[in-house]
Amino acid sequence: MKKRLVLLSITVIVQILVCSCNKQTPTAGNRSDLGSISLSSEIAGMVLIDGEETGRRIKAQGEALFEHIETGQTEVAILLDNGDIVKAVSTILVKANETAVVNIEAPKKVLIIEPPQEETSSVLSQTNDVPKTQTATTPRTQTQAILAQQQVEPNSNKQEIPRPTLTTEEQVQLFINEGKNYLEKKEYDKAITSFSEAIRLNPNYASAYFNRGGAYENKRDYDRAIADYTKAIQLDPEHGAAIVNRGISYSNKGDYDRAIADYTQVLRINQFFAPAFFHRGIAYAQKRDYDRAIADFSQAIRIGSTVEGFINVASAYYNRGNSYKNKGDFDNAISDFSQAIRLEPNNDSAYYFRGFSYYQKGNLDQAITDWTSALRISPNDAGVLGDRGAAYFQKEDYVNAINDFTRAIQLNNKVVQPYFLRGISYANLGDLDKAIADWEAVLRIDPNHADVRRFIEQVRQARGY
């Protein structure tokens, strides 16, 4: 029977031995199948010893090891020459004056190397169970797994290898960093678990509450997000980001007054905090207070243009443009949408609303151009197709209008306008059957559409029925 010994790496300090083997007493004629023995390394390298090469290769490794050991060379050399591998390994361990500690992994067959008691005793003892010094648990996060490996209880028969321990604050920071990594990966439940562990270790750490609030906010659990942001603010009353984020959560719940109060509180702390101006502008716009919204977006643009990366300036231009548009100030709206497009050329919404502003000014060609640009970015936007079709319709370009209305209907067949205007387009081209079919489709969506009923009646009277 071939014998195998895998010596993964050898050092004076033996740390880990894990293997699976048969419990036998080795003899000169039939040595035990040693399985695999893993030893921590300063002398690196893997040696695979099989069959007849056993003595030569283990002796070479023994000689390399004993460059680091002052005594025992003769005794081990004799054992190796006699082929007594097991006792040689045991002697190396004893001479190194170290005791192996079982690696914490479960469930596995665990091999423990004990100091030899008698010549006839086996160096190897095997068990299928987790040693009593281990706790077979499944940590919830990677950081918990790392920290769990430090929890090794003393054993009366083995010396415990000293392990570095982390302070509470170091553990907290590990969980915080882990949670942030999960946030970046959008694994919000795992992020919440990590931040909760940090809070358990230090309930007075504002950053943990702030970041957990962010995870809840991304899950649209705004009530829990607000609770965490509030706790972070209690611990750090000048935590501007927490105050702003709480305001955003209030806005997402439709509570714009509380949101505005939070943004205003931040600006009392720091009058140059551009995100507070930006988000307060959005809240004012939601309340249709467009003048205040425009003033806040203007401040956000002024500060954000000075401090690069502080806010998305393109978004500030876009939102200010929408406020101008909603006020009917289409010239300023077009100017702001143009700035947003300059900064973000793939902003399909900016193209759409600039086109809408041109349409309201009667510039149909420029509206069609902008809506075509928006469709290059988002080709399946039924709303933009319907609006471009309406522009073609007003230009009496009924063929292009019908093409756009048809595509819009294919994407969303629950909207009245494409059917209604396509029907009129067909009627103007003389195809009354298709016109009536489209208008009947309108009545299936809106049975009370008076214009459609009148059109259908007029066509029937013209045909004499």
| H helix count then E strand count, the chain | 21, 5
Q: What is the mean pLDDT of residues 42-56?
A: 35
Query: Token pair for residue 342?
Result: 């300059």
Note the residue count of the chain: 465
Distance CA 127, CA 124 (A): 10
The SS3 call for residue 36 is strand
Distance CA 415, CA 373 (A): 23
pLDDT range class, residue 11, cuts 50, 70, 90: very low
pLDDT tens column, 316-327:
999 999 999 999
- Could you give the percent of the chain with pLDDT greater than 70? 64
Of 265 and 310, more confident = 265
Q: What is the reported pLDDT for 436?
A: 95
CB 225 within 8 A of CB 195: no
Buried b / exposed e over 209-245, threshold 16 CB at 10 Å, is: bbbbbbbbbeeebbebbbbbbbbbbebbeebbbbbbb
- Choice among 48-52, 264-268, 343-347 with the minimum mean pLDDT: 48-52
pLDDT range class, residue 17, cuts 50, 70, 90: very low
pLDDT range class, residue 92, cuts 50, 70, 90: low
CB 27 within 8 A of CB 59: no
Query: Token pair for residue 219?
Result: 């899950």
Distance CA 51, CA 393 (A): 90
Closest C-alpha to 126, from 36, 30, 4: 36
Distance CA 349, CA 340 (A): 10
- E strands in 263-364: none
Distance CA 296, CA 314 (A): 14
Distance CA 162, CA 154 (A): 11
Q: What is the reported pLDDT for 166?
A: 86
Q: What is the reported pLDDT for 157?
A: 53
Tell the residue number behind the tokens 């920290």, with chain if given. Answer: 147
- Could you give the percent of the chain with pLDDT greater than 90? 60
Burial class (CB in 10 A: 0-12, 13-18, 19+), 445: middle
Q: What is the reported pLDDT for 307?
A: 72
Residue 88 has pLDDT above 90, yes or no: no
Write down all domains in the chain, each with its CATH number in brackets. 4-134 (no CATH), 138-254 (1.25.40.10), 272-379 (1.25.40.10), 398-465 (1.25.40.10)
Contacts of 207 (CB under 8 A, 6+ apart): 176, 232
pLDDT tens column, 110-147:
222 223 333 322 222 233 333 333 333 444 676 766 66
pLDDT range class, residue 36, cuts 50, 70, 90: very low
Q: What is the reported pLDDT for 253?
A: 97
Of 422 and 10, more confident = 422
Q: What is the mean pLDDT of residues 267-296?
A: 96
Q: What is the reported pLDDT for 217?
A: 97
pLDDT tens column, 194-239:
999 999 999 999 999 999 999 999 999 999 999 999 999 999 999 9
Residue 248 has pLDDT above 80, yes or no: yes
- Choice among 67-71, 409-413, 453-457 with the minimum mean pLDDT: 67-71
Give me the amino acid identity at 406: T
Q: What is the reported pLDDT for 299?
A: 96
Of 49 and 82, more confident = 82
For the stretch 255-262, contacts whose Cβ atoms lie closer than 8 Å and that sit 24 or more positions apart, written own/partner, are: 256/283, 256/284, 256/286, 256/287, 259/283, 260/284
Q: What is the mean pLDDT of residues 438-461?
A: 93
pLDDT range class, residue 78, cuts 50, 70, 90: low
pLDDT range class, residue 397, cuts 50, 70, 90: very high
Q: What is the reported pLDDT for 464?
A: 75
Q: What is the reported pLDDT for 306?
A: 82
pLDDT tens column, 159-198:
555 556 889 899 999 999 999 999 999 999 999 999 999 9
- E strands in 122-266: 124-127
Residue 44 has pLDDT above 50, yes or no: no
Rg (CA), the chain: 38
Alpha helix segments (H runs only) across 307-449:
313-327, 330-343, 348-360, 364-377, 382-394, 398-411, 416-428, 432-445
Give me the amino acid identity at 277: F
Q: What is the reported pLDDT for 384?
A: 98
Please give the model's pTM, rounded to 2 decimal places: 0.64
Neighbours of 3 (CB within 10 A): 15
Q: What is the reported pLDDT for 113?
A: 26
Average pLDDT, the chain: 76
Which residues face 127 on adjacent strands?
A: 110
Alpha helix segments (H runs only) across 344-396:
348-360, 364-377, 382-394
Residue 243 has pLDDT above 90, yes or no: yes
